[in-house]
Amino acid sequence: MKSTLVKKAVTENPVHELIRSRWSARSFSDKPIAQADLDTIFEAASWAFSAMNAQPWEYVYAHRSDTEAFEKLWNCLMPGNQPWAKNAAVLVVSLVKKKFENGNLNAAALHDVGAANAQLSLQATALGIHTHPMGGFDKKAVIELMNLDPTEVEPVLIFALGYLDAAEKLEEPFQSRELTGRSRNPVEEFAEQL
Ligand SMILES: Cc1cc2nc3c(=O)[nH]c(=O)nc-3n(C[C@H](O)[C@H](O)[C@H](O)COP(=O)(O)O)c2cc1C
């Protein structure tokens, strides 16, 4: 049997297991994601903090079993993401609502969508589901596909979600990337006392 990979973060401090276990996988199995689990993942995202509790996020998704919708989203991905993302169980577009209800620009909107996306990823991890965020997509194509007014709402990234499969399933260069270890800058490089 082919092995499945664990790329749990090796940390200097006792970082929570859930955070250590999240990583951006590329090899996805055929197993679909149950709608109830997907709803749980989106609800977890909604419990992120946001300026004025404006919750400036939206998500549009397609299960792989919904071939037509899935292909519409998949077609928006850059060539470097398409070969492996085609096996995702679900593709999710993360969108940002740029204005508050009163029409004023929300300067914190992107920050808050990032927070929601982090929670989305961690809830997925807790359910044994991997997420892989992708900035490599054609923004204009998504705007057109969804008939968005980019002064109001814009796509931020597209997530691939799915259950992990063996790295050996991937072609190169994706297999090597899947097998490469993970690293982070040491805490003292980015956090200091005033
Ligand atoms: C905004 C954003 C854009 C990204 N775009 C891509 C992408 O287009 N393709 C890709 O393979 N990974 C992409 N990634 C994944 C990052 O490369 C990955 O999160 C980073 O290398 C850290 O690895 P880890 O998530 O496994 O900890 C993106 C991540 C973020 C947050």
To the nearest whole number, what is the mean pLDDT of the chain? 96
- In this prediction, residue 4 has a pLDDT band, given cuts at 50, 70 and 90, of low
Closest Cα to atom 2, ligand 1: which residue?
135
Sorted by sequence, the CB contacts under 8 Å of residue 85 that are 6+ apart come out as 26, 74, 77, 91, 132, 134, 158, 160
Sorted by sequence, the CB contacts under 8 Å of residue 73 that are 6+ apart come out as 60, 61, 62, 91, 93, 142, 145, 158
Q: In angstroms, rounded to a whole number, what is the distance separating the alpha carbons of residues 55 and 109?
A: 8
CA of 96 to the centre of ligand 1 (A): 18
Residue 29 lies in a domain: no
Domain carrying residue 129: 34-163
Q: In angstroms, rounded to a whole number, what is the distance separating the alpha carbons of residues 140 and 22?
A: 30
Residue 81 lies in a domain: yes
Residue 71 lies in a domain: yes
Number of domains forming the structure of the chain: 1
Residue 129 lies in a domain: yes
Residue 140 lies in a domain: yes
CA–CA distances in Å: residue 18 to residues 4, 123, 165: 18, 9, 19
How do residues 141-180 score in pLDDT, each as one tens digit?
999 999 999 999 999 999 999 999 999 999 999 999 999 9
State the closest ligand 1 atom to the C-alpha of 137, by its place in the atom list counted from 1: 8
CA of 25 to the centre of ligand 1 (A): 10
CATH number, domain containing residue 111:
3.40.109.10
Residue 190 lies in a domain: no
CA of 105 to the centre of ligand 1 (A): 27
Degrees to nearest 5, angle at CA 100 with 95 and 103: 115
Residue 17 lies in a domain: no
Residue 75 lies in a domain: yes
How do residues 100-142 score in pLDDT, each as one tens digit?
999 999 999 999 999 999 999 999 999 999 999 999 999 999 9
Residue for token digits 């792989």? 64
Q: What percent of the chain has pLDDT over 70?
A: 97
CA–CA distances in Å: residue 169 to residues 31, 33, 65, 87: 15, 20, 20, 11
Can you tell me the mean pLDDT for 33-56? 98
- In this prediction, residue 21 has a pLDDT band, given cuts at 50, 70 and 90, of very high
- In this prediction, residue 1 has a pLDDT band, given cuts at 50, 70 and 90, of very low
Testing ligand 1's pocket by substitution, the residue of 11, 21, 24, 28 carrying the most ligand atoms inside 8 A of its CB is 24
Asked if 142 contacts 75 with a C-beta cutoff of 8 angstroms, the reply is no
Closest Cα to atom 27, ligand 1: which residue?
23
What pLDDT score was predicted for residue 2?
52
- In this prediction, residue 16 has a pLDDT band, given cuts at 50, 70 and 90, of very high
What pLDDT score was predicted for residue 78?
98
The answer on pLDDT for 13 being more than 90 is yes
CA of 128 to the centre of ligand 1 (A): 19
